[in-house]
Amino acid sequence: MNAHVQSFRPPAKDELAWLGTRPIPTQPYYDPAWYADEIEAIFKRSWLQIGHVCELPQPDSYIVRELEFASVSLLIIRGADGEVRAMHNVCTHRGTQLVDTRSGTAQKFSCRYHRWTFTNDGKLLGAPDFEQFNLEKAACAIPRVHCQVIAGLIFVNLTKGPVEDLRSWLGDMAAQLEETPVVGATHLTEYTYDINSNWKLTYDNFQENYHLRFIHSRTAGAGVGESNPFGYPRAYGFYGPHRTQAIWMNFDASFTPLQQLGMARSARVLAERGIDPVGSCAYLALFPTMFLFASSQQPFSHTVYPLGPTRSRGVIRLYWHGADANPSERFAREFSGMLLRDVHSEDRSVIEAGQRGLSSGALDHIHFQTQESLCRHLFNEVEARVLALRAQRDGGRA
């Protein structure tokens, strides 16, 4: 047995006692009223990561993002000046959605209903028979949405009125993000899944490693090992509402022939690009629902969007630098993406089983152990915001 294997100890209970040890109520995982308050207190007020600048490769590129939890459709545009902006996908005449494609390039957008036409930064350019209105064009601009970029990741904030700057909101996480492979990425692998589970239940699955050896017995790879059978992290970090874990790796793990080939080709092509194939492996979780697993071979983000009290959507993106340079790189990326998809498919199945149990009402509480402290931290942060909203609302009624 290796020395590093013998010496592993997960973070101790007393280090994390400040988070509390109470059982967690189940109602917030299915209650429609609680969910509605989460949307109001969190999702309509927080910075949300919704894209990457590589999706806007040139001036006048745009993407459309549907934020179902808020019934909002957003247009994200790179202007002629290179700036990335967000505005509602809505015509200011009668509210019709302007764009029904997922992405494209356009200097202006015309509403199909009455042909109101807007510049791609939202100004009304013209409208047929505009003299019939008692309006100034300047008053008909499309409403903007707060939009900022850090590390190539595009964030929006639906707050009306001033908001905290994104870099300030991220705190120390901003600099950590800027050290990850998402910076400078030019190509993506993306897969998505819809799931019958509350967004917290979905997200929590990816904040703890306790389940790895049971759910990913064939795909966990270097995530577990003899000295660390549950694959617990080496450390946790907490930064306001955000959190990190220091991933533990089993350097003695054994792999199947396909895995060995995929990893070997990946290491070779990364080396050709001057990237350390082992390197660091940051795990950065941004409140409320995005985390980044920034390994060299498989750098990916996973964002969970709420769709209802017991429904959510996961969006997984792997970030690549440059188009496939050669067939080995194409092979390595296909392998990395599809192995990860297998892993997440295993997660999805068991998460839905968890929601069925919670929605049954059989339990008043669930339990987080010390090595599920990131889940507890998320719950604490969510609960504080919902209770503050309710107190504010109740105070207003008094």
Partner 1 sequence: MSGRLPPAFAELEPFVGYWAAATTAGRAAARDRAGPAECARFFAAGFPRVQEALDYLDAKGFAQFDAADERLMALVLGLVHAGLAADVQGPDEPRHALTRPDMKLQVSPADVAPAL
Tokens of residue 215, six digits: 């759910």
- Residue 311 contacts partner 1 per CB under 8 A: no
Beta carbon nearer to partner 1, 96 or 219: 219
Q: At its nearest, how many Å lie between partner 1 and the CB of residue 219?
A: 6
- Residue 392 contacts partner 1 per CB under 8 A: no
- Residue 331 contacts partner 1 per CB under 8 A: yes
Beta carbon nearer to partner 1, 44 or 330: 330
Angle between helices 327-359 and 257-272 (to 10 degrees): 120
| Number of Cα atoms under 13 Å in the Cβ half of residue 195 | 31
- Residue 130 contacts partner 1 per CB under 8 A: no
- Residue 377 contacts partner 1 per CB under 8 A: no
Enumerate residues 176-195 that contact partner 1 by CB under 8 A: 187-194
- Residue 345 contacts partner 1 per CB under 8 A: yes
Helix (H) or strand (E) holding 78: strand 72-78
Tokens of residue 151, six digits: 């590390």
Give the per-residue contact string, 134-173, with partner 1 (x = CB under 8 A; - = no): ----------------------------------------
Q: How many residues bind partner 1 (CB under 8 A)?
A: 39
- Residue 261 contacts partner 1 per CB under 8 A: yes
Tokens of residue 187, six digits: 């190509």
Q: Quick one: which of 326, 360, 369, 392 contacts partner 1 (CB under 8 A)?
A: 326
- What Å distances lie between residue 391 and 26, 385, 398, CA to CA? 21, 10, 10
The interface region with partner 1, picked from 6-14, 156-164, 232-240, 325-333 by CB under 8 A, is: 325-333
- Residue 272 contacts partner 1 per CB under 8 A: no
Beta carbon nearer to partner 1, 145 or 269: 269
CA nearest to 314, candidates 281, 284, 278, 352: 352
- Residue 68 contacts partner 1 per CB under 8 A: no
Nearby residues of 82 by Cβ (< 8 Å), 6 or more positions away: 59
Q: Quick one: which of 138, 139, 323, 398 contacts partner 1 (CB under 8 A)?
A: 323
- What Å distances lie between residue 366 and 23, 201, 286, 317, CA to CA? 6, 11, 23, 30
- Residue 259 contacts partner 1 per CB under 8 A: yes
- Residue 321 contacts partner 1 per CB under 8 A: no
- Residue 271 contacts partner 1 per CB under 8 A: no
Q: Which is it for strands 24-25 and 103-105: parallel, antiparallel or unpaired?
A: unpaired
Number of Cβ within 10 Å of residue 229's Cβ equals 10
Euclidean distance between CA atoms 394 and 36, whole angstroms: 16
Number of Cβ within 10 Å of residue 191's Cβ equals 15
- Residue 265 contacts partner 1 per CB under 8 A: yes
Q: At its nearest, how many Å lie between partner 1 and the CB of residue 258?
A: 4
Q: At its nearest, how many Å lie between partner 1 and the CB of residue 303?
A: 13
- Residue 218 contacts partner 1 per CB under 8 A: yes
- What Å distances lie between residue 28 and 34, 317, 385, CA to CA? 6, 28, 13
Output phi, psi for 110, to 5 deg: -115, 135
Give the per-residue contact string, 219-238, with partner 1 (x = CB under 8 A; - = no): x-------------------
The interface region with partner 1, picked from 127-135, 281-289, 291-299, 316-324 by CB under 8 A, is: 316-324
Euclidean distance between CA atoms 146 and 334, whole angstroms: 35
- Residue 9 contacts partner 1 per CB under 8 A: no
3-state helix, strand, coil in the chain (%, to 5): 35, 25, 40
Q: Are 320 and 309 in contact (CB under 8 A)?
A: no
CA nearest to 233, candidates 29, 10, 38, 32: 10
Q: At its nearest, how many Å lie between partner 1 and the CB of residue 249?
A: 19
The interface region with partner 1, picked from 39-47, 148-156, 171-179, 341-349 by CB under 8 A, is: 341-349
Euclidean distance between CA atoms 263 and 179, whole angstroms: 23
Helix (H) or strand (E) holding 33: helix 32-38
Q: Please give the residue ranges that form the binding site for partner 1 (CB under 8 A).
A: 187-194, 217-219, 256-259, 261-262, 265, 320, 323-324, 326-328, 330-331, 333-335, 337-339, 341-342, 344-346, 348-349
